[in-house]
Amino acid sequence: MNNLLVFPLLIPLCTAVILLFFKNSVTGQRWVSAIGMLFNLAAAIVLIYQVKTEGIQTLHMGGWLPPYGIVFVGDMLAALLVLATSIVGTFCLFFTFGTIGKEREKYYFYPFYQFLLVGVSGSFLTGDLFNLFVCFEVMLISSYALIVLGGTKKQLRETLKYILINILSSTLFVAAVAYLYGVVGTLNMADLSQRIAEVGQSGVLNVIAILFMIVFSLKAGLFLFFWLPGSYSAPPAAVSALFGALLTKVGVYALIRTFTLIFYHEPAITHHWMAWMAAATMVLGAFGAAAYSDIGRILNYNVIISVGFLAFGLAVSSKEALDGVVFYLLHDMVAKALLFIIGGMLMYIAGTGRLKEMGGLIKRYPFMGWMFFITALAIAGIPPLSGFTGKLLIIMGGFQEKYFWLTAVSLASSFIVLYSLIKIFMAAFWGAEMKNTDSLPAVNKGFIVSAAGLCLIVVAMGIGSEWVYQYVSEAGHTLINPAQYIDAVLKE
């Protein structure tokens, strides 16, 4: 029992409720939400420390023992992801201050922002399948509001599609929960895992596993990503940075949790499917990233490629590959937020997303240019930076488990990632200068703080991989031995 587990939910929730009361004082809103984020960060760090020293933490809501009550479980994976969420949330918030505009800030932008974080942290920490559904909905409803807030034509149009696809996937989620409850009779994840291990995962349980895979793939943008490029290009840069960093990763986390804890008995069926979906995602995402010459589109297809890469690691499911998945997931949350922040700023100062109309920005914005360069190398996985270790581990896992073709595809997709991002760098920062560069707007303080902070983390995660790896390895250890998780939840 550890009450600290509920703090990553409780702090943003209380912050959001406080923020509802004074909508006109923008300065006040900014201070309150920033302070809330800092508390959240502190809670996440303490949580990781506790998980590291005392093992998996659990909290039984209302004192009801599992499987009867709702249980919150903080294993290393959940704790690390909560920390990454609050880091990304904090830095995106600083970026928001300068870029989002007074109009949006007055209409409850910050409460929605905090509610989104409630949903994301809740999804990471919960140990109950239906509670996961509820946390997903908290996250999604706030994301609907954030994506449409401002009400431009493009936002309205894309939100319609975004809501429709998410209602559909939520409906399928409830259907999958209904089937699973009908077969097994419980919804607590640890209890589910134990009972499925007893009755054997066969026939109908495989079908349910595939149904869950479809549901979470829709959320994560794994193969079923057709909704993603349009939806993520609609909202302002700060919001799409938050979405690109967090929303799909929650889907990936749900995939990891279900297929390492609950449905891990028939890898020939479930993991095989996932491997092919991952390959298709990487290939199609790579086509998208290479084909477009529009910054927004390229960044969105990069999100898709990384989801495919993570799913490939999950499909391999050896110890190395799962370590790699955890490491790459952490890296990807930070690096994608950074990429979207810089990309958003780039589109803002150039006044367009089209690469043909840009050029020569390195003279006026050298700091931004080189940060973008570092980010591009980090995402492609160049050694001293953070993307390398995760990719290395996943690819090592792929070779050891003899997934040669898929490993080749994932390596090739890394080249395309590098190509697409360097294409942006060369077109926007090099080449002939844009007309009247002097009249271009200056970058604001919030951008410098957030981008420099995230960039430092990306570099530090790369150089200090050894240090990060001890945490990641512990997370991977729990994923590969579900018994640890089950013991922590069910045996008190």
Partner 1 sequence: MELYMSLAIGVIFTVGVYLILSKSLLRIILGTSILTHGVHLLLLTMSKLKTGSAPLLGEKAETYVDPLPQALILTSIVISFGVTSFFFVLAYKAYQKLGTDDMEQLRGNDDE
Residues at the interface with partner 1 (CB under 8 A)? 130, 133-134, 137, 141, 144-145, 148, 151, 153-154, 156-161, 163-164, 167-168, 170-171, 174-175, 177-179, 181-182, 187, 230, 294
Shortest gap between Cβ of 75 and partner 1 (angstroms)? 25
Which of 225/327 has CB closer to partner 1? 225
Q: How many residues does the chain have?
A: 492
The CA distance from 365 to 321, in Å, is 39
Which of 137/266 has CB closer to partner 1? 137
DSSP assignment, residue 441? P
Shortest gap between Cβ of 171 and partner 1 (angstroms)? 5
Which of 87/147 has CB closer to partner 1? 147
Which of 178/408 has CB closer to partner 1? 178
Work out the number of other CB atoms within 10 angstroms of the CB of residue 30: 18
The CA distance from 314 to 420, in Å, is 25
Shortest gap between Cβ of 160 and partner 1 (angstroms)? 6
Which of 102/153 has CB closer to partner 1? 153
Residue 178's contacts (CB-CB under 8 Å, 6 or more residues apart) are none
Backbone φ and ψ of 71, nearest 5°: -120, 140
- Please report which helix (H) or strand (E) contains residue 69, including its range: none
Shortest gap between Cβ of 366 and partner 1 (angstroms)? 30
Which of 148/488 has CB closer to partner 1? 148
Residue 87 region by backbone torsions, left for phi larger than 0, else alpha for psi between -120 and 50, else beta: alpha
Backbone φ and ψ of 212, nearest 5°: -65, -35
The CA distance from 410 to 316, in Å, is 13
Shortest gap between Cβ of 470 and partner 1 (angstroms)? 39
The residue whose two tokens read 């994932």 is 410
Shortest gap between Cβ of 444 and partner 1 (angstroms)? 25
DSSP assignment, residue 188? B
Which of 190/279 has CB closer to partner 1? 190
Closest CA to 114 of 222, 170, 212, 38: 38
Shortest gap between Cβ of 230 and partner 1 (angstroms)? 6
